Amino acid sequence: MSTKHTQEEWHAFDTEIVTMPSQIKISNRISGMTYEESRWNANLIAAAPELLKFAKAFSEILANGEMDIYAKEGFNKKVADMVGLNIEAIKKATHQP
């Protein structure tokens, strides 16, 4: 499953979403929102590629029938990798260091 979004990392800078390293501006503050709401939305939008990556990884495990923890070798490593992806995306979406 390929994606057509900008493939670089997305970062929230105040109320803007910018790719790195090319610094392409993906979004700016949308009118009608408070400044605080715009900042939180920017953080959530910047986390979208990581959230998509996590969702794809989890879907792949489900599609391959790998949910039987006791029947598959390496399952715990895959779960640990997915949890790591999820934690990073949540940190980014909630603007945590």
Number of domain units in the chain:
2
Is there a single domain that holds both residue 56 and residue 34?
no
Confirm if 51 and 93 have CB atoms less than 8 A apart. yes
Is there a single domain that holds both residue 40 and residue 65?
no
Cβ atoms < 10 Å from Cβ of 24: 12
Is there a single domain that holds both residue 62 and residue 37?
no
Is there a single domain that holds both residue 26 and residue 37?
yes
Residue 37: the pLDDT is 85
What residue numbers bound the domain in which 17 lies?
A: 8-46
Q: pLDDT tens-digit profile of 60-79?
A: 776 676 666 555 666 677 77
Is there a single domain that holds both residue 53 and residue 93?
yes
**Residue 21 φ then ψ, to 5°:** -95, -5
Confirm if 54 and 82 have CB atoms less than 8 A apart. yes
Is there a single domain that holds both residue 64 and residue 87?
yes
Q: pLDDT tens-digit profile of 46-55?
A: 888 888 888 8
Is there a single domain that holds both residue 36 and residue 62?
no
> With bands split at pLDDT 50, 70 and 90, how would you rate the model's confidence at 1?
very low
Q: pLDDT tens-digit profile of 14-44?
A: 888 888 888 788 777 666 788 888 888 888 8
Residue 66: the pLDDT is 63
Domain contains 3: no
Domain contains 2: no
pTM: 0.64
Domain contains 84: yes
